[in-house]
Amino acid sequence: MYSLYRSVSTQKRTCPLLSVQPIRGLVDEKFKFVVTNLPPNQKVTLHSLHQSDDKDFWEAFGHYVSDEHGSVTGFKDESLGGTFEGTEPMGLLWSMRPTSGSRHGIRLRKRDTFRPMEVCISVYSGHISQGFSQQTPLATSVSERWYIAPGVKRVNIREKNLRGTLFLPPGSGPYPAVLDLWGGGGGLVEYRSAILASHGFASMALEYLGPEDLRLEDTDASYFERAYQILNNHPMVKKDNLAVLGLSIGSVITLNMVSYSKVIKPKCCVCISGSHLVPVNKSLFELFEQLKNHADKLRVNEDNQVIYRNLHLAISCESGKVDVGRIKCPLLLVNGDDDQTFPAVESAEDMAMMMEKAGNRHLLEILTYPGAGHLIEPPYSPHFRATKYKLQETNETIVMLWGGQTKPHAYAQEDAWKKILAFLWQHLSAP
Amino acid sequence: MYSLYRSVSTQMRTCPLLSVQPVRGLLDEKFQIVVTNLPPNQKVTLHSLHQSDDKDFWEAFGHYVSDEHGSVAGFKDESLGGTYEGTEPMGLLWSMRPIPGSRHGLRLRKRDIFRPMEVCISVYCEHLSQGFSQQTPLATSVTERWYIAPGVKRINIMEKEIQGTLFLPPGSGTYPGVLDLWGGGGGLVEYRSALLASHGFASMALEYTQDTDASYFEKAYQILNNHPMVKKDHLAVLGLSLGSAITLSMTSYSKVIKPQCCVCISGSHLMPVDKSLSDLFELMKNNADKLCVNENNQVILRNLILSLPSQSAKIDVGRIKCPLLLVNGDDDQAVPVVESAEDMAKMMKKAGNRHLLEILMYPGAGHLIEPPYSPHFRATNYKLQWTNERIVMLWGGQTKPHAYAQEDAWKKILAFLWQHLSAP
């Protein structure tokens, strides 16, 4: 799409020009940045800067050299250094990290899904790696990254002590739906559901850890079954065209529900960074009690970062595994092989064996990404190898080691998202 | 830009799919509409619907036939009928009109420029021309059209009696400036300045009333020129209609207003505004008998303006010292732009500054030459300032050539501004 701005500007102006297209895109959409009107063979640094909803600053940068026409084209030229290297069109997003002097162990989360993520992209002269705020850029452009497409609607779900947010796609419906279960960090994490709605799914983000009027003792199967029914019975939802999507503990819950519940019968499930080694027989309270009882199995590395993964292995020795041989719908597992939080890879292998034995192996699809960690988020989100985290079972704030290396983790996020959407469409498209 | 949505969807889904790219664009950016997964050779209607800031509904539609692959591509296929015909990628915007049952004489204006224009694009089965709200579309997509690019900042200007809004481009400045003078409709019309800031100009939309005189505009010009984010003495003045007359007068006579260049849309040097606007309006009131109405009782203002110079002087455009771009429609019924432009060319030739003048004359276009893809209004409700009378003003123009004029003029205006305001 050849923008008006660019066509007018390149003819008439002599200063360096930076174009980022689209200037307003969805978070999972690629952008293209092009710098023109530079001197040929000029060293420049492309820099991105973002201030999060938590007010921290995040940045990334790449070192480029302009070609003989004085241009740098982010989607085909190579970065020679910086926070990313090589031909990486989206490196300025996924390689972002807190600016120097920031608080330690922070994570980039979108809280207000109706306001876009603003990213300021600049071009600087020379190959610089710090002190960007003291330099004057050659050109600047602001780009917006949106979690919601135009027309997406947000509906608060509040029924007794059940809390969630339903995002509806544009148009009049009805739509296939997704019950979206985030992980043990708690709270109401909406941004993934918002982007799912932007792709045509009625997606309900469910809060299950954290609401004041919801005790852990009451967060049992019936809580999730009620949420599922609310979604399935919603007038804008295509009845019985539901999927359950979980991350981390959300995946654990998903596997439990789908194996045992008489109410939760989705067309398909997606479990990101999950494990079947933790049965949730009663309520989440019991689950966390168990985790607490095995706290001695927690290890820390030399940076005092907590490696959580062994805990699950210890628990399953005592209380058994989720009987995934009972699952009756297609199941997609999305894992990183450097997951330090859950033993996702071992769990997936064991699940495959159990399902082979039970005769439902054909329902299982496993995506294992080399070098990816635990927090497999929507595409182009920065990677965090370790961040601050409050353990639910003890209320202790630690530094949790999630794992993964930045570049392969970024690849995993981008590839997994495409495959998750395709999987959901494949199983939820109703005739 | 091949969107993720489209690539996933086309592989996996069998229902008709509608894609509008970009989903969020600037107002003057083209979009591409593609429908896929239709049966081949299927008659369909592409429909657009928008609810304005004034709460009225506007719509447009085109009749298409899918190809052998079951696709319709709005940017290359032909509309066989509807509110526009032929290969018109942007027809669903510029051919919009109020839906049946709307109030008469409406105009589409953006009031809150920080919220985008939401347009709902739908595909319907068969060739429909009415009753869209009673039908279920095959697919729907919502697209946003923004007047501001990300990072554009808005500053209220309220210095002494000067009222305006300054829009600054993203980044840390300094920027070339534009003083933006709207027409006689009055009020503070911000949307053009917002769009200019999205293109890199610090643009100030100025509110003025009939009590203003030259010193008001000079003060406004100085405020803009002295602003810390504005490149000093890299200013242009851009006017529409009465704003153009003011521009011509200021540039000819003022010792303070000395822009690098000027753009006058649908203006005339036959409207003397060298004293105060209230003097001009007195003159117009006294000549009210020269006003014509057509058979639809729509007021044709041009004749009144043509009659004015017999009583007072024309603006002496021979004194202008900077490049001047005139943008006119030859079917302008409100202002005699054609006659005025010809006469200005003669005056400037005589004075030796003809080389500064460039005239764009668009056949079939009317008076209200707005940013691209805005709908065309041949006549709308209007309040005459000099009598406070509510009339229906005939602006002129035919929809398709007027749409072409808006698109082409905008490109040329931006190029002209950049050409003369780009500093070394």
Task: Please provide residue A390's backbone torsions phi and psi, each rounded to the nearest 5 degrees.
Answer: -105, 115
Say how far residue A126 (Cα) sits from the centre of its chain.
34
Judged against a pLDDT cut of 60, whether residue A33 lies above it is answered with yes
Classify each residue of A370-390 as buried b or exposed e, where b means 16 or more C-beta atoms within 10 Å of its C-beta: ebbbbbbbbbbbbbbbbbebe
Q: Tell me the count of A-B CB pairs closer than 8 A.
A: 136
Which candidate, B396, B385, B274, places its Cα nearest to that of B337? B396
- Of the listed ranges A1-5, B9-13, B353-357, the least confidently predicted one is A1-5
Q: What is the pLDDT of residues A168-197, one digit of tens each?
A: 999 888 999 999 999 888 888 999 999 999
Confidence of residue B389 (pLDDT cuts 50, 70, 90): confident
Residue B13 confidence (pLDDT):
59
Contact A144, A132 (CB under 8 A): no
User: Which chain B residues are within 8 Å of A7, Cβ to Cβ?
Assistant: 411
Print burial letters for B30-57: b (CB count within 10 Å at least 16), e (below 16): bbebbbbbbeeebebbbbbbbebeeeeb
CATH number of B17-146: 2.60.40.2240
Confidence at residue A296, expressed as pLDDT on a 0 to 100 scale: 83
Name the pTM for this structure: 0.90
Check B418 against A12: CB less than 8 A apart. yes
What are the extents of the domains in chain B? 17-146, 153-422
Q: Contacts of residue A417 in chain B, CB cutoff 8 Å?
A: 4
pLDDT digits (tens, 9 = 90+) for A59-111: 999 999 999 999 999 889 999 999 999 999 999 999 999 999 999 899 998 99
Task: Sort A135 into a burial class: Cβ within 10 Å, 0-12 / 13-18 / 19+.
Answer: middle
Please report, for residues B268, B324, B357, the alpha-carbon distance to residue B353 in angstroms, rounded to integers and kept in the order given: 18, 10, 8
| % of chain B surpassing 70 pLDDT | 96
Collect all residues of chain B within an 8 Å Cβ-Cβ radius of residue A429. 12-15
Whether A227 shows a pLDDT value over 70: the answer reads yes
What local confidence, expressed as pLDDT, does residue A285 receive?
Answer: 80
Structure confidence by residue, pLDDT tens digits, B295-312: 999 999 998 888 887 656
Over 60: is that where the pLDDT of B174 sits?
yes
CATH numeric code, B153-422 = 3.40.50.1820
Q: Say if residue B396's pLDDT is above 90.
A: yes
CB A205 within 8 A of CB A193: yes
CA distance A143 to A18: 11
At residue B5 the predicted structure's pLDDT band, cuts being 50, 70 and 90, is very low
The amino acid occupying position A390 is K
Looking at per-residue confidence, does B378 or A173 come out higher? B378
Q: What is the ipTM of this complex?
A: 0.86
State whether residue B388 sits within 8 Å of chain A by CB.
Answer: no
Name the β-bridge partners of A217.
none
Per-residue pLDDT, A279? 79
Residues of A assigned a catalytic role: 248, 339, 374
Tens digits of residue pLDDT in B310-359: 656 789 999 999 999 999 999 999 999 999 999 999 999 999 999 999 99
Please indicate whether residue A281 or residue A264 has the higher confidence score (pLDDT).
A264
Say whether B3 and A29 touch across the interface (CB within 8 A): yes
Q: Which CATH number fits domain A16-146: 3.40.1280.10, 2.60.40.2240, 3.40.50.12780, 3.20.20.70?
A: 2.60.40.2240
Q: Encoding tokens for residue B82?
A: 């509807």
Cα–Cα distance measured from residue A80 to residue A91, given in angstroms and rounded to the nearest whole number: 12
pLDDT reported for residue B52: 94
The CATH number given to A153-428 is 3.40.50.1820
Distance CA B47, CA B62 (A): 7
Of all residues in chain B, the one with the smallest CA distance to A420 is B8
Chain A contacts in chain B segment 137-176 (CB below 8 A): 137, 139-144, 146, 149-151, 170-172
pLDDT in tens, B68-122: 999 999 999 999 999 999 999 999 999 999 999 999 899 998 889 999 999 999 9
Mean pLDDT of chain A: 91
Assign B171 a pLDDT band (cuts: 50, 70, 90). confident
CA B264, CA B268: separation in Å to the nearest integer? 8
- How many residues in total does chain B contain? 424
Average pLDDT over residues A380-386: 94
Q: What is the pLDDT of residues B249-283, one digit of tens each?
A: 999 999 999 999 999 999 999 988 777 788 888 88
Separation CA A335–CA B177 (nearest Å): 54
pLDDT of residue B387: 84
What is the predicted pLDDT for the residue at B311? 57
Nearest neighbour of A425 by CB, restricted to B12, B146, B171: B12
Which residues of B are less than 8 Å from A137 in CB distance?
Answer: 171
Residue B412 near chain A (CB below 8 Å): no
Q: Where are the alpha helices (DSSP H) in A166-272?
A: 191-198, 221-232, 249-260
Do the Cβ atoms of A25 and B26 come within 8 Å?
Answer: no
Residue B289 pLDDT > 90: no
* Rounded distance between C-alpha atoms, residue B324 and residue B238, angstroms: 10
Q: Does A362 touch chain B (CB under 8 A)?
A: no
CA dihedral (B193, B197, B201, B206) in degrees, to 10, reads 30
- Residues of B acting as catalytic residues: 241, 332, 367
Measured between beta carbons, which residues in chain A are less than 8 angstroms from residue B116? 150
Q: What's the token pair of residue A342? A: 């859950």
- B187 shares contact with chain A (CB less than 8 Å): no
Taking the alpha carbons of B173, B179, B185, B188 in that order, is the dihedral positive or negative? positive
